[in-house]
Protein backbone atom coordinates (compact mmCIF):
# COMPACT_ATOMS: atom_id res chain seq x y z
CA UNK A 1 0.00 0.00 0.00
CA UNK A 2 1.44 3.36 -1.00
CA UNK A 3 1.37 6.60 0.89
CA UNK A 4 -1.98 8.42 0.58
CA UNK A 5 -2.01 11.13 -2.06
CA UNK A 6 -1.28 14.54 -0.62
CA UNK A 7 -2.71 17.62 -2.29
CA UNK A 8 -1.18 21.06 -2.16
CA UNK A 9 -3.88 22.38 0.18
CA UNK A 10 -2.94 21.47 3.72
CA UNK A 11 -6.25 20.92 5.55
CA UNK A 12 -5.03 21.12 9.12
CA UNK A 13 -8.32 22.50 10.45
CA UNK A 14 -9.93 19.05 10.23
CA UNK A 15 -7.16 17.48 12.29
CA UNK A 16 -7.37 20.27 14.86
CA UNK A 17 -11.11 19.63 15.13
CA UNK A 18 -10.63 15.86 15.55
CA UNK A 19 -7.86 16.40 18.08
CA UNK A 20 -10.10 18.75 20.03
CA UNK A 21 -12.93 16.21 19.99
CA UNK A 22 -10.54 13.51 21.19
CA UNK A 23 -9.44 15.73 24.08
CA UNK A 24 -13.01 16.44 25.12
CA UNK A 25 -14.24 12.84 24.76
CA UNK A 26 -11.26 11.51 26.69
CA UNK A 27 -11.68 14.16 29.40
CA UNK A 28 -15.41 13.49 29.87
CA UNK A 29 -14.98 9.72 29.91
CA UNK A 30 -12.07 10.03 32.35
CA UNK A 31 -14.17 12.13 34.72
CA UNK A 32 -17.00 9.58 34.46
CA UNK A 33 -14.58 6.73 35.14
CA UNK A 34 -13.11 8.50 38.16
CA UNK A 35 -16.55 9.43 39.51
CA UNK A 36 -17.97 5.97 38.92
CA UNK A 37 -14.97 4.34 40.55
CA UNK A 38 -15.37 6.48 43.66
CA UNK A 39 -19.13 5.82 43.83
CA UNK A 40 -18.39 2.09 43.59
CA UNK A 41 -16.14 2.38 46.62
CA UNK A 42 -12.89 2.02 44.64
CA UNK A 43 -13.13 -1.79 44.33
CA UNK A 44 -9.95 -3.81 44.49
CA UNK A 45 -8.91 -5.73 41.38
CA UNK A 46 -6.22 -8.42 41.62
CA UNK A 47 -2.85 -7.10 40.48
CA UNK A 48 -2.33 -9.97 38.03
CA UNK A 49 -5.67 -9.18 36.34
CA UNK A 50 -4.66 -5.50 36.04
CA UNK A 51 -1.31 -6.47 34.56
CA UNK A 52 -2.86 -8.75 31.93
CA UNK A 53 -5.29 -5.98 30.97
CA UNK A 54 -2.42 -3.52 30.70
CA UNK A 55 -0.20 -5.91 28.76
CA UNK A 56 -2.88 -6.73 26.17
CA UNK A 57 -4.10 -3.14 25.80
CA UNK A 58 -0.60 -1.66 25.49
CA UNK A 59 0.43 -4.42 23.09
CA UNK A 60 -2.52 -3.78 20.77
CA UNK A 61 -3.32 -0.07 21.09
CA UNK A 62 -0.33 1.54 22.81
CA UNK A 63 2.49 0.05 20.75
CA UNK A 64 0.63 0.82 17.51
CA UNK A 65 1.76 4.46 17.42
CA UNK A 66 5.39 3.41 17.98
CA UNK A 67 5.01 0.91 15.15
CA UNK A 68 5.11 3.86 12.77
CA UNK A 69 8.63 4.92 13.77
CA UNK A 70 9.97 3.63 10.46
CA UNK A 71 7.83 6.25 8.68
CA UNK A 72 9.16 8.94 10.99
CA UNK A 73 12.70 7.65 10.46
CA UNK A 74 12.22 7.85 6.71
CA UNK A 75 11.13 11.49 6.93
CA UNK A 76 14.01 12.40 9.25
CA UNK A 77 16.87 10.39 7.68
CA UNK A 78 16.08 10.08 3.98
CA UNK A 79 16.86 13.74 3.10
CA UNK A 80 20.38 13.20 4.43
CA UNK A 81 21.15 9.56 3.67
CA UNK A 82 18.93 9.03 0.61
CA UNK A 83 18.40 5.38 -0.37
CA UNK A 84 20.33 3.91 2.57
CA UNK A 85 18.32 5.77 5.23
CA UNK A 86 16.80 2.49 6.43
CA UNK A 87 20.26 1.11 7.30
CA UNK A 88 20.90 4.00 9.69
CA UNK A 89 17.36 3.82 11.06
CA UNK A 90 17.33 0.08 11.69
CA UNK A 91 20.84 -0.16 13.11
CA UNK A 92 20.38 2.90 15.32
CA UNK A 93 16.98 1.78 16.59
CA UNK A 94 18.10 -1.76 17.41
CA UNK A 95 21.40 -0.70 19.00
CA UNK A 96 19.72 1.91 21.21
CA UNK A 97 16.98 -0.53 22.28
CA UNK A 98 19.52 -3.26 23.13
CA UNK A 99 21.67 -0.72 24.99
CA UNK A 100 18.67 0.27 27.11
CA UNK A 101 17.96 -3.38 27.96
CA UNK A 102 21.59 -4.10 28.88
CA UNK A 103 21.83 -0.93 30.96
CA UNK A 104 18.61 -1.86 32.77
CA UNK A 105 19.94 -5.32 33.46
CA UNK A 106 23.12 -3.86 35.01
CA UNK A 107 21.88 -0.57 36.51
CA UNK A 108 18.19 -1.16 37.15
CA UNK A 109 17.53 1.57 39.79
CA UNK A 110 19.27 4.24 37.74
CA UNK A 111 17.50 3.18 34.56
CA UNK A 112 14.12 3.24 36.28
CA UNK A 113 14.67 6.85 37.39
CA UNK A 114 15.87 7.79 33.91
CA UNK A 115 12.89 6.03 32.33
CA UNK A 116 10.44 7.93 34.56
CA UNK A 117 12.10 11.25 33.66
CA UNK A 118 12.18 10.46 29.93
CA UNK A 119 8.55 9.29 30.02
CA UNK A 120 7.45 12.49 31.76
CA UNK A 121 9.23 14.62 29.16
CA UNK A 122 7.78 12.55 26.32
CA UNK A 123 4.25 12.74 27.72
CA UNK A 124 4.63 16.48 28.20
CA UNK A 125 5.89 16.98 24.66
CA UNK A 126 3.22 14.84 23.03
CA UNK A 127 0.23 15.65 25.24
CA UNK A 128 1.00 19.22 26.23
CA UNK A 129 -0.95 22.31 25.32
CA UNK A 130 1.21 23.30 22.37
CA UNK A 131 0.06 22.38 18.89
CA UNK A 132 2.15 19.93 16.83
CA UNK A 133 5.09 21.74 15.27
CA UNK A 134 5.18 24.52 17.86
CA UNK A 135 8.35 25.17 19.82
CA UNK A 136 8.08 23.28 23.14
CA UNK A 137 8.29 25.06 26.48
CA UNK A 138 10.14 22.98 29.05
CA UNK A 139 8.10 24.22 32.01
CA UNK A 140 4.89 23.24 30.25
CA UNK A 141 6.34 19.87 29.31
CA UNK A 142 7.22 19.05 32.91
CA UNK A 143 3.92 20.39 34.27
CA UNK A 144 1.90 18.11 32.01
CA UNK A 145 4.27 15.14 31.84
CA UNK A 146 4.77 14.58 35.55
CA UNK A 147 1.05 14.38 36.39
CA UNK A 148 0.65 10.72 35.25
CA UNK A 149 4.00 9.86 36.84
CA UNK A 150 3.81 11.50 40.27
CA UNK A 151 0.06 11.34 41.03
CA UNK A 152 -0.30 7.53 41.28
CA UNK A 153 2.99 7.34 43.18
CA UNK A 154 1.41 9.49 45.89
CA UNK A 155 -2.16 8.15 45.70
CA UNK A 156 -1.25 4.42 45.60
CA UNK A 157 2.22 4.18 47.15
CA UNK A 158 2.03 0.47 47.97
CA UNK A 159 1.07 -0.62 44.47
CA UNK A 160 3.49 1.72 42.70
CA UNK A 161 6.44 0.96 44.96
CA UNK A 162 5.82 -2.76 44.48
CA UNK A 163 5.98 -2.31 40.71
CA UNK A 164 9.05 -0.08 40.99
CA UNK A 165 10.74 -2.63 43.24
CA UNK A 166 10.27 -5.34 40.62
CA UNK A 167 11.52 -3.07 37.85
CA UNK A 168 14.53 -1.85 39.85
CA UNK A 169 15.22 -5.30 41.28
CA UNK A 170 15.40 -4.03 44.86
CA UNK A 171 13.04 -3.75 47.87
CA UNK A 172 9.79 -1.86 47.31
CA UNK A 173 10.43 0.22 50.44
CA UNK A 174 13.33 1.93 48.64
CA UNK A 175 10.82 3.64 46.34
CA UNK A 176 8.54 5.04 49.02
CA UNK A 177 8.14 8.76 48.18
CA UNK A 178 9.02 10.95 51.20
CA UNK A 179 5.86 13.03 50.76
CA UNK A 180 3.73 9.94 51.45
CA UNK A 181 5.38 9.47 54.83
CA UNK A 182 4.71 13.12 55.60
CA UNK A 183 1.07 12.87 54.55
CA UNK A 184 0.54 9.72 56.60
CA UNK A 185 1.69 11.57 59.71
CA UNK A 186 -0.16 14.80 58.92
CA UNK A 187 -3.45 13.07 58.00
CA UNK A 188 -4.07 15.70 55.33
CA UNK A 189 -3.49 13.53 52.28
CA UNK A 190 -6.32 14.92 50.19
CA UNK A 191 -5.60 18.55 51.10
CA UNK A 192 -1.94 18.15 50.23
CA UNK A 193 -2.78 16.39 46.95
CA UNK A 194 -5.09 19.28 46.01
CA UNK A 195 -2.28 21.69 46.87
CA UNK A 196 0.07 19.75 44.61
CA UNK A 197 -2.42 19.95 41.76
CA UNK A 198 -2.95 23.69 42.33
CA UNK A 199 0.81 24.19 42.09
CA UNK A 200 0.95 22.22 38.83
CA UNK A 201 -2.06 24.06 37.39
CA UNK A 202 -0.58 27.39 38.45
CA UNK A 203 2.70 26.47 36.82
CA UNK A 204 0.86 25.55 33.62
CA UNK A 205 -1.07 28.82 33.67
CA UNK A 206 2.07 30.86 34.30
CA UNK A 207 3.86 29.22 31.41
CA UNK A 208 0.91 29.82 29.12
CA UNK A 209 0.80 33.47 30.12
CA UNK A 210 4.52 33.75 29.56
CA UNK A 211 3.97 32.65 25.97
CA UNK A 212 1.48 35.53 25.57
CA UNK A 213 -1.40 33.16 25.00
CA UNK A 214 -4.39 32.87 27.31
CA UNK A 215 -4.73 29.56 29.19
CA UNK A 216 -6.91 27.16 27.25
CA UNK A 217 -9.85 25.78 29.26
CA UNK A 218 -9.77 22.52 27.31
CA UNK A 219 -6.17 21.79 28.27
CA UNK A 220 -6.89 22.71 31.87
CA UNK A 221 -9.86 20.32 31.93
CA UNK A 222 -7.75 17.56 30.38
CA UNK A 223 -4.99 18.10 32.94
CA UNK A 224 -7.50 18.03 35.82
CA UNK A 225 -9.17 14.85 34.52
CA UNK A 226 -5.74 13.22 34.15
CA UNK A 227 -4.92 14.08 37.76
CA UNK A 228 -8.30 12.84 39.04
CA UNK A 229 -8.06 9.65 36.98
CA UNK A 230 -4.63 8.75 38.37
CA UNK A 231 -5.67 9.77 41.87
CA UNK A 232 -8.78 7.53 41.81
CA UNK A 233 -8.23 4.48 39.62
CA UNK A 234 -5.58 1.80 40.29
CA UNK A 235 -2.31 2.98 38.69
CA UNK A 236 -2.17 0.30 36.00
CA UNK A 237 -5.76 0.87 34.86
CA UNK A 238 -5.31 4.65 34.80
CA UNK A 239 -2.02 4.31 32.90
CA UNK A 240 -3.59 1.97 30.35
CA UNK A 241 -6.49 4.34 29.64
CA UNK A 242 -4.17 7.35 29.42
CA UNK A 243 -1.39 5.75 27.38
CA UNK A 244 -3.51 3.82 24.88
CA UNK A 245 -6.43 6.15 24.27
CA UNK A 246 -4.95 9.62 24.70
CA UNK A 247 -1.19 9.56 24.19
CA UNK A 248 -1.17 6.95 21.42
CA UNK A 249 -4.28 8.37 19.71
CA UNK A 250 -2.83 11.90 19.64
CA UNK A 251 0.39 10.64 18.10
CA UNK A 252 -1.53 8.72 15.42
CA UNK A 253 -3.44 11.88 14.49
CA UNK A 254 -0.22 13.89 14.32
CA UNK A 255 1.34 11.31 12.01
CA UNK A 256 -1.72 11.28 9.76
CA UNK A 257 -1.78 15.08 9.63
CA UNK A 258 1.87 15.38 8.67
CA UNK A 259 1.98 12.51 6.18
CA UNK A 260 -1.27 13.18 4.30
CA UNK A 261 -3.11 16.23 5.62
CA UNK A 262 -5.69 16.30 2.83
CA UNK A 263 -6.83 12.68 3.19
CA UNK A 264 -8.37 12.92 6.68
CA UNK A 265 -9.69 9.52 7.86
CA UNK A 266 -7.96 7.78 4.95
CA UNK A 267 -4.64 9.00 6.33
CA UNK A 268 -5.55 7.84 9.84
CA UNK A 269 -6.44 4.34 8.63
CA UNK A 270 -3.28 4.28 6.52
CA UNK A 271 -0.95 4.96 9.44
CA UNK A 272 -2.85 2.42 11.58
CA UNK A 273 -2.42 -0.22 8.88
CA UNK A 274 1.32 0.46 8.57
CA UNK A 275 1.81 0.33 12.34
CA UNK A 276 0.28 -3.15 12.59
CA UNK A 277 3.35 -5.26 11.50
CA UNK A 278 5.62 -3.74 14.17
CA UNK A 279 2.82 -4.14 16.70
CA UNK A 280 2.51 -7.86 15.91
CA UNK A 281 6.28 -8.31 16.09
CA UNK A 282 6.35 -6.59 19.48
CA UNK A 283 3.57 -8.82 20.83
CA UNK A 284 5.41 -11.97 19.68
CA UNK A 285 8.69 -10.78 21.23
CA UNK A 286 6.90 -9.87 24.47
CA UNK A 287 5.26 -13.29 24.65
CA UNK A 288 8.66 -14.94 24.22
CA UNK A 289 10.14 -12.74 26.95
CA UNK A 290 7.28 -13.63 29.29
CA UNK A 291 7.78 -17.37 28.72
CA UNK A 292 11.51 -17.00 29.38
CA UNK A 293 10.96 -15.07 32.62
CA UNK A 294 8.49 -17.67 33.88
CA UNK A 295 10.99 -20.39 32.93
CA UNK A 296 13.59 -18.89 35.28
CA UNK A 297 10.97 -18.98 38.03
CA UNK A 298 9.97 -15.33 38.27
CA UNK A 299 6.38 -14.88 39.46
CA UNK A 300 3.54 -14.12 37.07
CA UNK A 301 2.93 -10.55 38.27
CA UNK A 302 6.63 -9.65 38.28
CA UNK A 303 7.16 -11.23 34.85
CA UNK A 304 4.28 -9.25 33.35
CA UNK A 305 5.54 -6.03 34.95
CA UNK A 306 9.01 -6.48 33.51
CA UNK A 307 7.76 -7.48 30.05
CA UNK A 308 5.46 -4.45 29.78
CA UNK A 309 7.74 -1.76 31.17
CA UNK A 310 11.13 -3.07 30.06
CA UNK A 311 9.63 -3.38 26.60
CA UNK A 312 8.20 0.14 26.73
CA UNK A 313 11.57 1.49 27.89
CA UNK A 314 13.42 -0.23 25.04
CA UNK A 315 11.01 1.36 22.56
CA UNK A 316 10.54 4.73 24.28
CA UNK A 317 14.13 5.93 24.04
CA UNK A 318 14.52 5.58 20.24
CA UNK A 319 10.86 6.57 19.73
CA UNK A 320 11.33 9.76 21.73
CA UNK A 321 14.56 10.59 19.87
CA UNK A 322 12.86 10.21 16.49
CA UNK A 323 9.85 12.25 17.63
CA UNK A 324 12.12 15.05 18.83
CA UNK A 325 14.10 15.07 15.56
CA UNK A 326 10.92 15.13 13.51
CA UNK A 327 9.37 17.93 15.57
CA UNK A 328 12.55 19.95 15.14
CA UNK A 329 12.57 19.40 11.37
CA UNK A 330 8.89 20.43 11.14
CA UNK A 331 9.57 23.64 13.10
CA UNK A 332 12.62 24.38 10.95
CA UNK A 333 10.64 23.90 7.75
CA UNK A 334 7.81 26.11 9.05
CA UNK A 335 10.26 28.89 9.93
CA UNK A 336 11.67 29.06 6.39
The distance of Cα 291 from the centroid of its chain, to the nearest Å, equals 26
- Over residues 2-16, the mean pLDDT reads 58
Residue 85 has pLDDT above 60, yes or no: yes
Whether 198 is in a domain gets the answer yes
- Over residues 169-187, the mean pLDDT reads 68
Residue 300 has pLDDT above 90, yes or no: yes
Residue 2 has pLDDT above 60, yes or no: no
Instruction: Pick the more confident residue, 336 or 100.
Output: 100
**How does residue 172 score in pLDDT terms, banded at 50, 70 and 90?**
confident
Whether 24 is in a domain gets the answer no
- Over residues 59-83, the mean pLDDT reads 86
Per-residue confidence (pLDDT) for residue 139, from 0 to 100: 63
Whether 300 is in a domain gets the answer yes
Whether 322 is in a domain gets the answer yes
**How does residue 19 score in pLDDT terms, banded at 50, 70 and 90?**
confident
Residue-number span of the structural domain to which 154 is assigned: 45-335
pTM, to two decimals: 0.84
**How does residue 263 score in pLDDT terms, banded at 50, 70 and 90?**
confident
Q: Please state the domain count of the chain.
A: 1
**How does residue 213 score in pLDDT terms, banded at 50, 70 and 90?**
low
Whether 67 is in a domain gets the answer yes
Residue 215 has pLDDT above 60, yes or no: no
- Over residues 50-74, the mean pLDDT reads 89
Most confident segment among 63-72, 203-212, 305-314: 305-314
Whether 190 is in a domain gets the answer yes
Per-residue confidence (pLDDT) for residue 132, from 0 to 100: 47
pLDDT-above-90 percentage for the chain: 34
Whether 139 is in a domain gets the answer yes
Whether 3 is in a domain gets the answer no
Most confident segment among 53-62, 167-176, 211-220: 53-62
Amino acid sequence: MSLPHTSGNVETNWFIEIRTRLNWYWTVISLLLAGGWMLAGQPEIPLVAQLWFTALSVGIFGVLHGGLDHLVGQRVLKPKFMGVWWVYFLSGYVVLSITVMIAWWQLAPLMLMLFLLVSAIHFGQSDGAQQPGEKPFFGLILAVGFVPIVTPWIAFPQQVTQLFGWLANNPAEAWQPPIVLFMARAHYAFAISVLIFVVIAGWLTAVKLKTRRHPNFMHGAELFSTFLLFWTLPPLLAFTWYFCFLHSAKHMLTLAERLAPSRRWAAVSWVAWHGAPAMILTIVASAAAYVWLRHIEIGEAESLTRVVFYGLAALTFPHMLLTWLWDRSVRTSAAR
